[in-house]
Structures are given as C-alpha cells and as structure tokens.
Structure 1
Amino acid sequence: MGVFTRATASRSRKATLSGLVFLGASALVLTGCSSSGGGEGSSNEKPTGEDLTLKVGTLLPQTGQLAFLGPPEEAGVGLAVKEINDAGLGITVDVTYGDSGDPDNKAFATTVPNLLGEGVSAIIGAASSGVTKLVIDEVTGAGVIQFSPANTSADFTTWDDNGLFWRTAPSDVLQGEVLGNLIAEDGNETLGILYLNDSYGTGLAKFTKEAFENAGGEVVEEVSYNAGDTTFDAQVSSLKAANPDAIALVAFEETKTIVPALAGYPADKMYFVDGNLADYSADFAPGTLTGAKGTLPGLDTDELGDFTDRLQEFWQGEGNEELKDYSYAAESYDAVVLIALAALQAGSTEGKDIAAELQSVSGGGEDAGEKCTTFKDCAALINDGETADYDGYSGPVTFDENGDPTEATIGIHQYKEDNTYERIN
C-alpha cells in the first residue's frame, strides 16, 4: 500500500519532507513560481484550414552509460507518433531520432545542432540530467521545447528556461524521499552512499540522506566517483570500513564493476535507483543480487493495460529485438502526446505557443478540462472547442507552472535469483 507524501517547492528550492514511506509511494509535488515565458520558435504556425505538421527530435541514449534506457524510451516515442498520425485528427508528427550519448562520449554535441538545424519544435530527452544540463540553454535558447521523460534533477524546477523545459519524470526530491524511507523502514540504522558526482547523483544522494536521517537513521559514509572512472577500490574500501547496515548505489552502468568490488557485502542490504535498476542476468552469476531493492518512477506493468503489448508490437515491427523492460517508455509516450495536444490546441507548431498550452492539456491550468486518456479522445475534445485534461500511462501528469508533474508514482522493485527485478509495490 502506498503512502501519499507531499512536498512544497519554490524558486528558493525549499522543501519539507516528512513521514515514513513504506513499500511504495505516490507523491504530490506543488511548486509555486512560474517559469512560463517564450522563445523564438523554429516552426511556422498552422495556416487556416490546414493540418499541422509537427517536427520533433529525440535526444535519447543509443550509446553511453544509459544506453539500456534507449530502447524503451524510443519505443514510447515511436508508438505515440504512430498512434497520433493514425488518428488523423488535424496534426501529423514527423520524428527524427538522435543519440544523446552521455557526458563522457558527448554524442549530444552533434545531435542537438543537427536537430535544431532541421527546425524541430521540440526535442524529447535527454534521459541523463547531466546531459540536459549541457544542452538545455542551447535548446531553449533557440525557442525549442526540451521535454525529458527521465530527467529527475531538482535543479530543473528553477532553471531559467523561458518556460520551455518540461518533464514527465518526477523530481529526485520525491525519489530520494522514497528511497531513504524505504531503507529506514527495512530496519537499517546506518547507511553508506556511493554516488556519481554529477547533478543527478549529488541531488539524489542528498535527498536520500535527508529522508533517511529524518527517519532516525545515520549516514556513516558518503563517497563519490566521476564519470569515466573504471575502478572503485578506494570508494568500496571506505564504505566497508564504515560498516553500514545498508549501502545505496546511485550509479549508472558502472554498477557492473561496483557490485563485484562489493563481494561479501549482503545483496539484500544493497539499494539501487532508476539509473542502475537494470537486468543484470547476463552480467552476474545467479544469486549475486538476490534481495537487493531499487526505486523507479512509473506505474507497474500490470497497471498499463495493453500499452506494453502495443509497445512490443510496434518496436519489433520496426525490426528491433524484444524490449527487456519498460523503464520510462510511458513517460516518453506521454511526452509526445502532450506536445501534440498542446500544438493542436495552440493551432501552432511554434515552440513558445506549444509551451503555453502544455499545462492546460495536462489538467494543470486554471480551467479544469474533461478527463481523457488517449490522444484520439483528447484531440476530439480540442477540435470540438473543449478543454482536454490528458491522463497518461505515466500517471495523471498535471503540470505545475515550472513544467514539473505534480503527481507521480515511485515503484519499489526487488531482485530475484536470476538478477532480474520485479516490482513488489
């Protein structure tokens, strides 16, 4: 059973988190000050009587530390584009796929200029908060929407983005609260944290520590590593010397090296996050991770209805291998649908015009719209002059004025004997 936890935030980024979160959580994050604004758009407004053609690009990880997230995210984008175009309700979406890479291989440095040069109105991505920090000013400064399905850094809530950065993933204020309280609720009194030294890692480690200490625990060791590091002996030695009851690993693909270095530490006392909650069945011997737990934003696959079936059918129909998991697929799908609905409502494919309608079509505006759960139904309402309130596969969404979702679910997952994970709440 989930616990509904509330946090408030403003431009000063003050937050109050309280109460224990048991084996799952839904959270309402309310933010105050507006970041709404405009930029110079890259596309033309819809001529009267003609359908809109909306150009979007993706900045998702085909390579780099988060490459395992690329397939479900790209599948979510592709399925949304197909279903929007199949609906034939006044808007057609053209998508160009691009690689974000990571801060180490810097694929984004080529992808972003290419997408902007093609005149996209919106870019879906990045998955990595670290990558987004390196490109957000370039993208939003060009009047183009940057819409991430997976960025969780709290820094983006108050970023000076001209109202053009949006996300369907919740802030790490929430995930850190859930993780810290989970570790405490499992009976651990002391905690060691190993984290990536970037905006994602430092933020999530900070909020996890705050929640764990607020629950009465003590963080006895915190050690970081830098992107590109290949050995972690010093960090692991420091953690083991502190002898914590539990260890939280805020990491990406480096987890494949960190876990063997922690050999001898009980797997059921290890805690992962969305950045490293992955299928390790091909990487570790059976039983290596049995009992380890992790947090991941998003609904359970059982709550997604036929979405995962449609996703697999589309993805494999494009000649790809079967998806291993669905991390941030729903968030990616919803990002595209929301952008298309906002463009349809604005009657424009100009970035600033679309951004001005995103809060409204999510149900976060002043005038409550009619609930709808598919692009087709929402678009029909808009075409009839009504206000639509889209509730998607990632949740109700309901944007605040900073472009953050005000409602989100964080799932708790646990590793099985084969080093794959399942949701337990």
Structure 2
Amino acid sequence: MGVFTSGSGRRSRSLQSILGGIAVVGASALVLSGCAPAEEAPAGPAEDLTLKIGTILPQSGALAFLGPPEEAGVALAVQEVNEAGLGITVEAIYRDSGDTTTDTATVSVTDLLSQDVTAIIGAASSGVSFTVIDQIVGAGVVQFSPANTSPDFTNYDDNGLYWRNAPSDLLQGEVLGNLIAEEGAATLGLLVLNDAYGTGLAGALRATFEAAGGEVVAEELFNEGDTSFDAQVSALTAANPDAIAVITFDQAKVVVPALVGAGYPGSQLYFVDGNLADYSADFEPGLIEGAKGTLPGLDISSLGNFQDRLLEVDPDLTEFSYAAESYDAVILLALAALAAGSTEGADMAAKLQEVSGGSGGGEKCADFASCAAILADGGVIDYDGASGPITFDENGDPTEATIGIFEYQADNTFVRIN
C-alpha cells in the first residue's frame, strides 16, 4: 500500500528574502566570433536566463502550519540553482496566500504579476488556488502548486499553465478508505470542510470505503471560518460510527478535543494531509494516541541530507509536509526554462511534462546540476526529485505518487508506519 499511478487525459494544459546568485556564463552559452569549435555547439539559451518566480504559500490562515516547510523548500531550491551557476538565476518573491475567508491570495497575485513574475508557486489550499487560477493563467503565467489535491483541477481550462506535483485526492481517498476498512471499521463518520478539497477527498474516501463493504452513517459539513462545531460533533457522536475521518485544516485543534470530550475515542480518529500535524503543544498527552492519518509524499527521513539542508535554510522548522514538493516545483521550473531557452510562462509550461519524464524518453537525473549538464549538452532529461518520480501527464498531474500512513504517539506527534 502507498504507491499508486494514475493517467487521466485532459487539457491543451517565513522567508522574506532569498539568496541571490551571480550568473555564470557556461561553456555553451556564448560562442565568440571566429573562435567557435569545429563541432556543433550544444543546444541552449544564447545567454544566461533570469527566472523570476513568486509564491503564494500560507503565512496566515487555516494552513499556516504548512507555510514554513513549503517556503523553506522553495528557498533551498533557489539557493542551489543559483549556486550551481549553470545558465539560470532564480529570484523568488514571497507572498501570503491566506485562506478562503480572505482575499489575501488575490492581493498577493496582483502584486506578483505587477512585478513581472512568469511563474507562481502555490497555493497550498485547493480552495484558494481556485480563487486565483484564472487571474494567473490569464496573464500567461505558470501556476505550480506543491499541495493542491482537488480532483477538479485535472480537467480545468487553464491553457496548459496549471501544474501540481501533489497527487489527486482520488488517490489519498483510496488509501485512507482502504486503511479504515482493513482496520475493521464497518461504519464511518465524516467531518468535512465544505470546499473543493474537503468534498473531493470525502467523496473519494466514501466511494472506496463503501466499495470495501463499509457504510458511511454520518457526514457533517462545515465552512471555512466557522468557530462552533457543536452540531456536527453531536450528530457524529450520536451515529456512533466505528471510525471518524476528520477532513479539515487547523480546525482539528477545536474539533478533535470536542469529539473526544463528547466521549468518542481519540484512537478511532483518522486524519488527512490538511491536518496531519504535531499537536504536542495543543492536546493533552494521549488524547489521540493510536489515531492514524495519510499524507502524500516520501518519508523525508529517507531523503539523505535533504532535511538537514532545509534546516540550514530555516533552523526553526518543526513541520516538513510538502517541503520536498515545493523544492521540486522550483527545480522543475528552472529545468523547463533551460530546456526551452526561455523563462516565459508558456515556454516553460511546454517543457514541464518533458523534463519530468512524462514525454521525450529523457535520461534520468536526480539533482539540478546533473540535469542542467545534460540539457547543456543538448540532451533530454527525466528528473526524479526529492518528492519522488513526478512524471507529469498532459494535464499537469503527476502519474506516480506515494501516500504515507502515519500513527499518533502518546505525545500527540506522528510517525510513519508504512
């Protein structure tokens, strides 16, 4: 359990500063008149490229706990691309996405577009991304999310400019539904954030759980910004399901103690990527011991020194969710720009599937420097990154994904168990 592939078809498809880099002219970048070598010069841009990207990642709002690791992932990638000096320099401008209760993302996107960025990384929330996707792609700018999981993006009319390296919740819902059924639950309650993320994930979870022979006996919705969950808690506990899946963002800090306080066992709760977090400072010890949850991505402890490199960028990191995906978003954009010889949005978008290995039959490479070297020699690449094999389809969706399963300990921190 954990690794799945998908291949649907569709479309025509907090850090306030970042280390800069001095552009270094590569051997293939310039050929002086009268001094060109006899053999054909490698393909590549006539001069070093400068890629200006923006981020709309959550510095505030219901997903603010994801902001630091995501911004650290971006910052680390920018640093490493610039230090490599291999034909491209990246400049990053960091802005807040907020959540769907504010217009923070719209304000941030307007600001970033005014600064002539050609790619924007974010948002983390699917609901937030839907509020700005038309604005971004309408400007001819790439939107690349490291964390959007709503299935509704797959067939969205985005002019080929929207990409994500987080898998659709059709996959996470399948993993979670099977997990709950395999652990012996016959009945299930759902507490669901009423937005594209919450309802999409709940639908996939319900379908899988029911296909396994289970029954959803209660499904309670709430809206972003709600502060009272008494009615939902009462309805769920009255149904007395064998398990409850909590599909929320940081509302879990309120809902989970309320459920346990109403007599529901914390060990029978199931968390998702939007709320799988360290609750050691929020809950009484043992409150959710034995609870489980799912999160897309590889086990960061298996990624060599990647975590150490992130901590050098931000020593205060305690969460690492979607850091690898954010890092890979920058690397893929930089490689696509090199492959295209351009930092224009449409040009990079036209190369993203190829550099990910989704087309072109490229040579495998696993870091920016080795991939850039292959491109400088006129080759085609297949980048596998910190978040694993990405392999985009024509929709900008990853066709390979790993969904991790985690279990909460007595101190309300979680550990990977698969």
Global fold match (TM > 0.5)? yes
Aligned-pair distance for 1:268? 1.3
How far does the alpha carbon of each residue in 1:291-338 deviate from its partner, in whole angstroms, 9 at most, with x for none?
A: 11000000012321110111101223xxxxx21121000000000000
Query: What amino acid is the match of 1:279?
Result: D
Query: What amino acid is the match of 1:63?
Result: S
How far does the alpha carbon of each residue in 1:271-309 deviate from its partner, in whole angstroms, 9 at most, with x for none?
A: 000000011111111001101100000001232111011
Match of 1:87 among 84, 89, 93: 84
Question: What is the CA–CA distance in structure 1 between the aligned matches of 2:111 and 2:239, rounded to whole Å?
Answer: 48
Which runs of 5 or more structure 2 residues have no equivalent in the other structure?
14-28, 31-44
Aligned to 2:187: 190
How far does the alpha carbon of each residue in 1:93-113 deviate from its partner, in whole angstroms, 9 at most, with x for none?
A: 000000000011321121000
Match of 1:260 among 234, 257, 274: 257
**TM-score, with length taken from structure 1:** 0.90
Aligned to 1:56: 53
Question: What is the CA–CA distance in structure 1 between the aligned matches of 2:388 and 2:12, rounded to whole Å?
Answer: 23
1:71 aligns with 2:48: no
Question: What is the CA–CA distance in structure 2 between the aligned matches of 1:125 and 1:361, rounded to whole Å?
Answer: 20
Aligned to 2:210: 213
Match of 1:32 among 2, 5, 9: 9
Match of 1:398 among 356, 370, 391: 391
| 1:6-405 matched pairs, under 5 angstroms | 25-36=2-13, 49-262=46-259, 263=261, 264-316=263-315, 322-365=316-359, 367-405=360-398
Aligned-pair distance for 1:49? 2.9
Whether the aligned pair in 1 keeps the contact of 2:11 and 2:157 (CA below 8 Å) is no
The DSSP-based 3-state class of the residue aligned with 2:60 is coil
Question: What is the CA–CA distance in structure 1 between the aligned matches of 2:301 and 2:104, rounded to whole Å?
Answer: 35
Whether the aligned pair in 2 keeps the contact of 1:147 and 1:167 (CA below 8 Å) is yes
How far does the alpha carbon of each residue in 1:52-74 deviate from its partner, in whole angstroms, 9 at most, with x for none?
A: 00000000000000000000000
Query: What amino acid is the match of 2:381?
Result: A
The DSSP-based 3-state class of the residue aligned with 1:97 is strand
Aligned to 1:423: 416
Aligned-pair distance for 1:259? 1.1
Count of matched residue positions in the alignment of Structure 1 and Structure 2: 387
How far does the alpha carbon of each residue in 1:122-178 deviate from its partner, in whole angstroms, 9 at most, with x for none?
A: 000000000000000000010000000000000000000000000010000000000
Which runs of 5 or more structure 1 residues have no equivalent in the other structure?
3-24, 37-45, 317-321
Aligned-pair distance for 1:35? 3.0
Aligned to 1:40: none
Aligned to 1:7: none
How far does the alpha carbon of each residue in 1:76-99 deviate from its partner, in whole angstroms, 9 at most, with x for none?
A: 000000000000000000000000
Question: What is the CA–CA distance in structure 2 between the aligned matches of 1:148 and 1:395, rounded to whole Å?
Answer: 16
Question: What is the CA–CA distance in structure 2 between the aligned matches of 1:329 and 1:418, rounded to whole Å?
Answer: 24
Whether the aligned pair in 2 keeps the contact of 1:299 and 1:409 (CA below 8 Å) is yes
Query: What amino acid is the match of 2:213?
Result: G
Aligned-pair distance for 1:241? 1.0
Aligned-pair distance for 1:260? 1.6
Whether the aligned pair in 2 keeps the contact of 1:370 and 1:388 (CA below 8 Å) is yes
The DSSP-based 3-state class of the residue aligned with 2:7 is strand
Question: What is the CA–CA distance in structure 1 between the aligned matches of 2:300 and 2:397, rounded to whole Å?
Answer: 23
Q: How large is the RMSD of aligned CA atoms in angstroms?
A: 1.1
Query: What amino acid is the match of 1:280?
Result: Y
Aligned-pair distance for 1:239? 0.6
Query: What amino acid is the match of 2:227?
Result: T
Whether the aligned pair in 1 keeps the contact of 2:407 and 2:414 (CA below 8 Å) is yes
The DSSP-based 3-state class of the residue aligned with 1:31 is coil
The DSSP-based 3-state class of the residue aligned with 2:354 is helix
Whether the aligned pair in 1 keeps the contact of 2:287 and 2:410 (CA below 8 Å) is yes
Whether the aligned pair in 2 keeps the contact of 1:35 and 1:158 (CA below 8 Å) is no
How far does the alpha carbon of each residue in 1:355-400 deviate from its partner, in whole angstroms, 9 at most, with x for none?
A: 00000000001x2110000000000000000001100111100000
Question: What is the CA–CA distance in structure 2 between the aligned matches of 1:260 and 1:313, rounded to whole Å?
Answer: 35
Aligned-pair distance for 1:261? 1.2
Question: What is the CA–CA distance in structure 1 between the aligned matches of 2:9 and 2:151, rounded to whole Å?
Answer: 14
Question: What is the CA–CA distance in structure 1 between the aligned matches of 2:10 and 2:197, rounded to whole Å?
Answer: 23
